[in-house]
Amino acid sequence: MTRVHVTDLVKDYTIREGLRRSRLRAVDHVSLDLTPGRTVALVGESGSGKSTIAKILTRMESPTSGTVDVRLDDGTPVQGSLYRRQVQMVFQDPYASLNPFHTIEHHVARPLRIHQRTTGAAQTHQRVLEMLERVNLSPAEQIAARRPHELSGGQRQRVAIARALAPGAQVLIADEPVSMLDVSIRLGVLNLLGRLQREDRLAVLYITHDLATARHFSDEIVVLFRGRVVERGPADAVILDPQHDYTKLLAMAAPDPERGPARVAAGAVIDRAAIDNSVCYDHFAGEWQQVGSPARSAATARSAATARRTA
């Protein structure tokens, strides 16, 4: 069992335009915890910093400041090649995340070999077939010999999940795993992820922009807006009782045939440009909190928060 504590994560990108340099803060003082057997959904629009967090957690990018602390149950920190074994990722686009040149077997066998989960060709092959069976890909023998382009999007995503779990990962980062799939297949892949999570007691970070699947699939929701956390809490509380303007906007954006036009009208009331991301509503604590180093002074933010509460 592995726990992840992310504290005050900041990621700046420098943008160069000719001689001018500017700084873009993609992630701004984000903290979150991943615990075994629980799913945390990270919800936000494009450019809100979701994928940057995923990249930092998988060590494809290094944070500007803040820490990612990954520890085993006995308290030993997870580092080096052990980190790669423990923390794995499922990518968004199953059409891009598998190498068109290699067979399915290669994709699942490589992590097994790299992390010495198996020895010898025969045992590796056996394990690959087991992994494929686990993600409901059968007949495994046939699938293993195929190449990615011969599989459907859903099947490819299952292969990607098998690959992520192959090293024996305990922490799974799923970066919009179903957004590129047909609606009819999404539920199947999500349920598969749910089952694997329960079987292996995985800690899952589910990154999405879709509140509905976030509620269905996760225990806790963290809403991200322009790099900052603006609302966090138990999944049902965040969806049914959104406090922050941005969360309300997100909830309204999901089409609901029962309320239909009324919702759209309500959505027009909130001005996107005026949404304040320096305050965060924490459903666990039941109060508004100051996030990060605010652009405005703490006093005005607090007054904004109280104004919102009284409104």
Partner 1 sequence: MTHLSTDNGPTVGSAADEKLAPVASSADRPRAGWRAMLPTMTPWLALGLFLVISIALFGTIGPYLVGDPGQIRDIGLTAPSGEFVLGTTQTGQDVFAQLAHATRGSLQIGLLVGLIATALSCFFGIYGAYRGGLTDEAFSLLSNVMLVIPGLPLVIVISGFVPREARGLWTIAVVLAITSWAGSARVLRAQTLSVRSRDYVAAARVAGERSWRVIVVEILPNLLPVIASQFVFAVIAAILGEAGLAFIGLGASNASTLGTMLFFAQNGFALGMGAWWWFAPPGLLIALFGMGLSLINFSIDEIINPKLKNVRAHRKRARKAIRLEREVRRADRRTAGRSEAGAQEVASR
Task: Enumerate binding residues for partner 1 (CB under 8 A).
Answer: 58-60, 81, 84-85, 88-89, 91-93, 96-103, 110-111, 114-115, 136-138, 142-143, 147-150, 152, 154-155, 160, 163, 166-167, 183-185, 187-189, 191-192, 194-195, 210, 212-213, 216, 254-256
User: Least distance from C-beta 309 to partner 1, angstroms?
Assistant: 27
Nearer to partner 1, 12 or 61 (CB): 61
- Tell me the three state secondary structure of residue 173: strand
How remote is the C-alpha of 234 from its chain's centroid?
Answer: 16
311 vs 306: CA distance, rounded Å: 8
Q: Which residue, 89 or 229, has its beta carbon nearer to partner 1?
A: 89
Least distance in angstroms from the C-beta of 169 to partner 1: 10
211: Cβ–Cβ under 8 A, 6 or more apart, which residues? 43, 221, 239, 250, 251, 254
Measured from the CB atom, is 58 or 304 closer to partner 1? 58
Least Å distance between CB 95 and partner 1?
9
Reported residue count of the chain is: 311
Q: Does residue 90 contact residue 172 with C-beta atoms inside 8 Å? A: yes
Q: Please identify, using beta-carbon distances, which residue of 98 and 301 lies nearer to partner 1.
A: 98
Smallest Cα–Cα separation from 177: which of 185, 169, 130?
A: 185
User: Rounded distance, CA 166 to CA 162, Å?
Assistant: 6
Which C-beta is closer to partner 1: that of 111 or that of 227? 111
- Give least dist CB 294 to partner 1, A: 34
Q: For the CB of residue 107, give the shortest distance to partner 1 in the complex, in Å.
A: 8
Nearer residue to partner 1 within complex by CB, 135 or 279: 135
Least CB distance to partner 1 at residue 293 (A) = 30
Alpha carbon separation from 147 to 98, 105, 180 (Å, rounded): 9, 9, 19
**DSSP 8-state assignment for residue 77:** B
